Structures are given as structure tokens and as C-alpha cells.
Amino acid sequence: MNLIVTESYAESCLYAAHQIAALIQQTPTAKLGLATGGTPVPIYRELARLCRAGEVSFAKVRTVNLDEYCGLTGQNDQSYRHFMEKHLFSKIDIDTANTYVACGVGDEQTNCRALDEAVLAGGVPDLQLLGVGTNGHIGFNEASETLTAHAHIEQLSATTIAANARFFAGSDEVPTRAITMGMQNILCARRILLVATGKAKAEAIRGLIQNDDVTTRNPCTFLKLHPFADVVIDRTLAAAAGWPDA
Ligand code: PGA
């Protein structure tokens, strides 16, 4: 695992966007694993700017997203399909047919197997972008006694529902279940890029950067099993997570 400490969250997002853009410049057919949530929004803004400026083209890029809420169709404006359209896909030259966000309605087993297939279709992702939950979740793999390898339905934890309530009218409105890539689906990417900010993430990041332990109680620690995982955090979060040089 490679730790990158930046001066600010804005700098972290520029760093991540430029890493992704460089990958696409080098491999125009790159396959990206993408994330939703508050953290990646400025990353997608910068990628859209680079695309408008003609510096990068997504015309041949393929994408697969980590997760989707159960019970929401892609037309629902709280769905992650809608989030991706709004923040990225509608702003770049990507072919929507080359984008995959899991289906949150219909037969759950069928949807999970389809997500497993999407992760592998045409080869594993060249890069998986990740945020992290306050409880250390990646995708929606919640901190627990056990984790799950493949795509599955996850019951969202109270902390995740509370954290995501800011995107809804209230916590009652947050879906309680989600379809998510499992740990193997995430870790099979050739490269991982995790971006985190905010003191609420300090405990999760502490477990990631302070020792060599891997624990299902803090799922992001599984990134230690990946040979090419970059963790990008700002100095404020690094200090809150006890990083001595921050
Ligand atoms: P956030 O969510 O970017 O909205 O903090 C990250 C996550 O839950 O993985």
C-alpha cells in the first residue's frame, strides 16, 4: 500500500483525477471501477473539465460501479445510476452502453451475478476508485465479523444510513439495503485508488496506515492485501489518524 498525503482535499481530488486521466491517455480502452458518495464529486468535476479541454477522451472507456441502492430504479434521482449520469457520464464523451451500474430492482440473485460478470467482462478493471465509510466500509461491504467475496446484498449499518442521510430528506428515506461488489470484486482491479477526507474517517484510516493488520471490522484494511493500492488523504486527516509526519 502506498500512502500519499496531500495539503488539502482539493489537492487529493486533483491528484486522483490526474492519475485516472493519465491511465486513459495511456490506455484509451481502460476499464474503470467507479464510486459514488460525496468524496469523488470533485474528482469527476476535474475529469469532465479535462474532457471538455480535449485532454482526455472517454470514447472507448468502460466503467463498472461499486454499488447501487436496493429498491431504486436508475431513473430515481437518489439512485447511483442517476448520480453517475449527473456528476460524470453526462459531462464526458462516454458511450452509456459502456457504463455499468448494478440494478437495484428485480431479482436480487440475478442482479448480483450480473454485477460479478460486469466486473470481469472484457478483463478486470484497470483501476478501482474508492471512498471509505466512517466504519471502514469499501463499496457497501460493512464492518462485520465476516465479509463477502462476491457481489451480494448488504444490510446497511446504522452509521452508513446516518452518514448518507445528508443526501436524502431524512434518515427514514435512506434505503436500508444495497447491492455491492464484494471484496474479491474490488481487490481484483489492477490498481486501487482510495481517496478520503474528514475527521469522521480518522479511525478507519488509522487502521489502514498505522499497522499491518487486516480485519473484517475495518474492511478498508483489506487494501493491504493488494500490491498496487494508493491511499490519498490530506494532511488534516493524516494528523487525525495519527500519521507522525502530518
Ligand atoms: P462519502 O462516502 O464519500 O460520501 O464520505 C464514502 C463511502 O461511504 O464509501
Q: For residue 237, what pLDDT is reported?
A: 98
- Taking Cα atoms as reference points, which of 176, 192, 174 lies closest to residue 184? 192
SS3 content of the chain, % helix, strand, coil (to 5): 40, 15, 40
Given the C-alpha cell 471490522, which residue does it identify? 217
164 is catalytic: no
The grid cell for 47 is 475529469
The strands making up 152-155's β-sheet, listed across from edge to edge, are: 67-69, 177-180, 152-155
pLDDT of residue 201: 98
Q: How far is the CA of 118 from the centre of ligand 1 (A)?
A: 22
133 lines ligand 1 (CB under 6 A): yes
- Ligand 1 midpoint to CA 156 (Å): 13
Catalytic residue, chosen from 85, 142, 154, 230, is 142
Q: Which entry of 137, 152, 154, 230 is annotated as an active-site residue?
A: 137
Residues of the chain where predicted confidence (pLDDT) is lower than 50: none
CA dihedral for 142, 121, 99, 87, sign (positive or negative): positive
pLDDT value for 80: 98
How high is the pLDDT of residue 122? Answer: 97
What atom of ligand 1 comes closest to residue 36's alpha carbon? 3
pLDDT of the residue at 246 = 75
- What's the confidence (pLDDT) of residue 200? 97
Point out the ligand 1 atom lying closest to the alpha carbon of residue 197.
Answer: 5
pLDDT at 60: 98
**How many angstroms separate the alpha carbon of residue 206 from the centre of ligand 1?**
16
Distances (CA, A) of 212 to 3, 222, 237: 13, 10, 19
> CA 106, CA 144: separation in Å to the nearest integer?
27
Taking alpha carbons only, the member of 238, 39, 36, 216 closest to residue 141 is 216
